[in-house]
Amino acid sequence: MSNNLSFQVTSIDETTKARAGVLKTPHGAIVTPIFMPVGTQATVKTLSPEELTQCGCSIILANTYHLHLRPGDELVAKAGGLHAFESWAGSLLTDSGGFQVFSLRDISKITEEGVWFQSHIDGSKHFFSPERVIEIERNLGADIIMMFDECPPALADVAHIENAVDRTIRWAARCVTAHEKTPLRHGNAQALFGIVQGSIYKPLRERCARELVSMNLPGYAVGGLAVGESAQDLYETALFTCGLLPENKPRYLMGVGTPENILECIARGVDMFDCVLPTRNARNGTLFSWNGKINIRNACHTEDFGRGLDPSCACYACKNFSRAYLRHLFMAGEVLAIRLLTLHNIHFYMDLVKQARGHIAGGTLGEWKDSARETMKGERGGGAGGGGRGRVRVFP
Amino acid sequence: MSNNLSFQVTSIDETTKARAGVLKTPHGAIVTPIFMPVGTQATVKTLSPEELTQCGCSIILANTYHLHLRPGDELVAKAGGLHAFESWAGSLLTDSGGFQVFSLRDISKITEEGVWFQSHIDGSKHFFSPERVIEIERNLGADIIMMFDECPPALADVAHIENAVDRTIRWAARCVTAHEKTPLRHGNAQALFGIVQGSIYKPLRERCARELVSMNLPGYAVGGLAVGESAQDLYETALFTCGLLPENKPRYLMGVGTPENILECIARGVDMFDCVLPTRNARNGTLFSWNGKINIRNACHTEDFGRGLDPSCACYACKNFSRAYLRHLFMAGEVLAIRLLTLHNIHFYMDLVKQARGHIAGGTLGEWKDSARETMKGERGGGAGGGGRGRVRVFP
Q: What is the mean pLDDT of chain B?
A: 94
Return the pLDDT at A3: 65
Burial of A353 (0-12, 13-18, 19+ CB in 10 A): buried
Secondary-structure breakdown of chain A: helix, strand, coil percentages, each rounded to the nearest 5: 40, 15, 40
Return the pLDDT at A107: 78
CB B87 within 8 A of CB A323: no
Classify strands B125-128 and B115-118 as parallel, antiparallel or unpaired: antiparallel
Q: What is the pLDDT of residues A265-312, one digit of tens each?
A: 999 999 999 999 999 999 999 999 999 999 999 999 999 998 899 999
CB A268 within 8 A of CB A274: no
Distance CA B177, CA B192 (A): 11
The answer to whether A45 contacts B334, with C-beta atoms less than 8 Å apart, is yes
Return the pLDDT at A105: 74
In this predicted structure, the answer to whether residue A75 has a pLDDT above a threshold of 60 is: yes
Residue B32 backbone phi and psi in degrees, to 5: -115, 155
The answer to whether A325 contacts B86, with C-beta atoms less than 8 Å apart, is yes
Instruction: Using the CB atoms, write b or e for B95-126: b if 16+ within 10 Å.
Output: bbbbbbbbeeeeebeeeeebbbbbbeeeeeeb
- Average the pLDDT over A130-152 and give the result: 97
Give the closest residue to A265 by CA, choosing from A228, A234, A226, A244: A234
The answer to whether B328 contacts A50, with C-beta atoms less than 8 Å apart, is no
Min Cα distance A378 → chain B (Å) is: 26
CB B319 within 8 A of CB B259: no
B336: which chain A residues are within 8 Å (Cβ-Cβ)? 43, 45-48
Q: What is the pLDDT of residues A97-126, one digit of tens each?
A: 999 999 887 778 999 999 999 999 999 999
In this predicted structure, the answer to whether residue B150 has a pLDDT above a threshold of 70 is: yes
Q: A-B interface: how many C-beta pairs under 8 angstroms?
A: 121
Which residue among the candidates B13, B143, B274, B351 is catalytic per the annotation? B274
**Nearest residue in chain B measured CA to CA from A322:** B85
Min Cα distance A377 → chain B (Å) is: 29
Identify which of A70, A84, A395 has the shortest CB distance to residue B332: A70
B321: which chain A residues are within 8 Å (Cβ-Cβ)? 87
B340: which chain A residues are within 8 Å (Cβ-Cβ)? 48
A320: which chain B residues are within 8 Å (Cβ-Cβ)? 49, 87
In this predicted structure, the answer to whether residue B175 has a pLDDT above a threshold of 60 is: yes
Distance CA A44, CA A42 (A): 7
The answer to whether B43 contacts A78, with C-beta atoms less than 8 Å apart, is no
* Radius of gyration of chain A measured on its C-alpha atoms: 21
pTM of the model: 0.95
Q: Residue A385's pLDDT band (boundaries 50, 70, 90)?
A: very low
Min Cα distance B339 → chain A (Å) is: 8
**Three-state secondary-structure class, residue B7:** strand
The answer to whether B335 contacts A303, with C-beta atoms less than 8 Å apart, is no
Amino acid at B277: L
- CB contact B40 to A (< 8 Å): no
Return the pLDDT at A382: 45
CB B76 within 8 A of CB B82: yes
- CB contact B316 to A (< 8 Å): yes
- CB contact B336 to A (< 8 Å): yes
Q: What is the mean pLDDT of chain A?
A: 94
HSE (side-chain half, CA atoms, 13 Å) at B260 = 15
CB A213 within 8 A of CB A245: yes
Probe site for chain A from B296, B318, B335 (most A CB atoms < 10 A): B335
- Average the pLDDT over B108-117 and give the result: 94
- Is residue B370 flagged as an active site residue? no
The answer to whether B324 contacts A45, with C-beta atoms less than 8 Å apart, is no
Return the pLDDT at B295: 97
- Average the pLDDT over A141-158 and give the result: 94
In this predicted structure, the answer to whether residue A387 has a pLDDT above a threshold of 80 is: no
Q: Is A56 left (phi over 0), alpha (psi -120 to 50) or beta?
A: left
